[in-house]
Structure formats: C-alpha cells, structure tokens
Amino acid sequence: MPLFEPWNVDRASAIIAEFRDREGPMLPILHAFQDTFGCIPEDAAPLIADKLNLSRAEVHGVITFYHDFRRKPAGQHVLKVCRAEACQSMGCDALIARAETKLGVSLGETTADGRVTFESVYCLGLCATAPSAMLDGRVVGRLNERRIDALLAEVQR
C-alpha cells in the first residue's frame, strides 16, 4: 500500500515552486500532489490558483476534467475497467455491474475496508482484446466473468 504524506501547505508550496516555471505547470503539479498526498485535497485548488495567478474556477475545472485526479486517497488496490467504445461494444457494462455487486460499491468508490478503489478508464490501448481492465497498473485483456471474478478474488484476499 502506498504511503502518502498528510496535506501540508509548505510541502505543497515547494512542489508548486518546483514546477511553476515550466510551460503548462498545472498538470505536473497536480500529478505531483497526487503522488505525494494520494489525492488532490480541497485546499489544493486555492493554493495553486494563488501561486499560478489563476482563478480557482480554472484550477477546479482542470482537476474535475481529468478522471485520474482523486479527491480522496485510493484504497490499497485500484481496479479500473475500461468504458470506452471498443470495451462498451464488447460488454464491459455487464462486467462493471457484476463487480459493483461483488464489491458493494459503485464506480468511483472505495470499499469500506479500504481494500479496493473501483474506477472507470477511457481506453487502455487494449481495444483489440476488449473488454479490458487494469489492476494496480497491470493490464488485463479479454475480460469475462471468470476473469473479473479472479481479479476481485485477488484484491479481496
């Protein structure tokens, strides 16, 4: 399980200072925040806006546009199922519904025991073997009921 630092304004300010002079600094800052703190906390947007001389709405817009930025740290495992076109056409929705029932959470949520964060993703580049998923960075193609059950068993052990 990754260990994240608690939110800290000084640490966050140092990260911003590291990237602020780069072209297009916001995404690298947000990724660095997520790598450091496990998520993009509420206090991040006003701080970034202030330091980069942007409006809070602009920063908030970027944070909410990208599905990868989390408002709360992820669970011990992150299971992502692709919902883009090829995977949709190969029946990913039924597999997502199956996983939601077995995990007891909806897409975008983390199980109460903190073991699994279940998310969607929009194309893993495995369209030829759709439907596809990714567990903790490991991609899995040709997903079916048996394979999704195996992934769920792996994360619930």
Binding-site residue ranges for [2Fe-2S] cluster: 82, 87, 123, 127
Binding of ligand FES by 52 (CB under 6 A)? no
- Decide if residue 152 touches ligand FES (CB under 6 A): no
Give φ, ψ of 127 to 5 degrees.
-55, -35
- Please report how the helices 26-37 and 56-65 are oriented relative to each other, as an axis angle in degrees rounded to 10: 70
Among 18, 43, 50, 85, binds ligand FES (CB under 6 A): 85
Taking CB under 6 A as the criterion, the residue among 12, 78, 99, 130 binding ligand FES is: 130
* Cα 114 versus chain centre, distance: 15
| Shortest CB 99 distance to ligand FES, Å | 15
**Which CA distances in Å does 55 have to 62, 67, 90?**
11, 21, 42
Closest separation between CB of residue 12 and ligand FES, Å?
A: 34
- Tokens for 25? 């600094």
Please pick, from the candidates 16, 103, 132, 133, the single residue that binds ligand FES as defined by CB under 6 A: 132
Closer Cβ to ligand FES, 15 or 87, answer by number = 87
By C-alpha distance, which of 45, 152, 41 is closest to 105? 152
For residue 15, what are the CA distances in angstroms to 8, 26, 46, 112? 11, 11, 15, 31
Least distance in Å: CB of 93 to ligand FES? 12
**In the set 39, 52, 62, 127, which binds ligand FES (CB under 6 A)?**
127
Point out which residues bind ligand FES (CB under 6 A): 82, 84-87, 123-127, 130, 132
